[in-house]
Amino acid sequence: MTRISINLLPKEFTEQQVKSSKFYQIQAVGVVIILVLIFLSSLTIALRILQSNNLKTVQVQVTAAEERISGLKGREASLLILKNRLNAIDKYLGVPSKQASILRQITEQLPSTFVITSMSVSRLGEVSILGLVPDSAILDQITSLTTYQVSIESLNRSRDGVYRIGLKIISK
């Protein structure tokens, strides 16, 4: 069956309706586009605000870190000075001084019965020793040290037979 369509409305009216329906469609698409743009703009603004807050937080953290670092600069300088001093001390501890080596050599060559009461070393290496000797035979051993020039500065004998002797020793 075929359908018969009768249109009693004027042709201009249907054309007007078609035009207006197209206009409404275009208008609806425009409204949708405007709403999408508004949504995207709002989203962009929200992201911008979040990023601004994040940047402020990071800037505060950076400022705090810079303050901590600047506070540690004085400590770093002190530690550097201390490190240099420790290096200098290590340098000198590893190498015995001239005076210490002279004292060690002399005490190794002195007889075991010679009791040292005091000892001093000058910067030039001259050694002054005060000591006690039980008998005169040891005096000969002391004055015959081969690697040193030994001179007796003072010599006393006490009532109990112990000699008090002052020596000046110079390395040859």
Instruction: Tell me the residue range of the domain where 111 lies.
Output: 98-171
The pLDDT, as a whole number, for residue 96 is 65
Quick one: 131 and 112 in the same domain? yes
The pLDDT, as a whole number, for residue 97 is 67
Number of domains in the chain: 2
Quick one: 111 and 167 in the same domain? yes
Quick one: 23 and 75 in the same domain? yes
Note whether residue 60 is domain-resident. yes
Note whether residue 4 is domain-resident. no
Please say whether the dihedral angle defined by the alpha carbons of residues 159, 120, 102 and 155, taken in this order, is positive or negative.
Answer: negative
The pLDDT, as a whole number, for residue 53 is 95
Note whether residue 20 is domain-resident. yes
Domain end: 95, 114, 140, which one? 95
The pLDDT, as a whole number, for residue 57 is 95
Quick one: 56 and 72 in the same domain? yes
Domain end: 59, 79, 95, which one? 95
For residue 111, the domain's CATH number is: 3.30.1360.100
Quick one: 24 and 62 in the same domain? yes
Note whether residue 86 is domain-resident. yes
Q: Reduce the secondary structure of the chain to three states and give it as a string.
A: CCCCCCCCCCHHHHHHHHHHHHHHHHHHHHHHHHHHHHHHHHHHHHHHHHHHHHHHHHHHHHHHHHHHHHHHHHHHHHHHHHHHHHHHHHHHHHCCCHHHHHHHHHHHHCCCCCEEEEEEECCCCCEEEEEEECCHHHHHHHHCCCCEEEEEEEEEECCCCCEEEEEEEEEC
Q: What is the pLDDT along the chain (172 residues), one digit of tens a residue?
A: 678 777 777 888 888 888 899 999 999 999 999 999 999 999 999 999 999 999 999 999 999 999 998 888 888 888 899 889 988 887 777 766 677 777 777 778 888 888 888 888 877 778 888 988 888 777 777 766 667 777 888 888 888 888 898 888 887 6
Domain end: 56, 78, 95, which one? 95
The answer to whether 158 and 115 have CB atoms below 8 angstroms apart is no
Quick one: 67 and 106 in the same domain? no
Note whether residue 1 is domain-resident. no
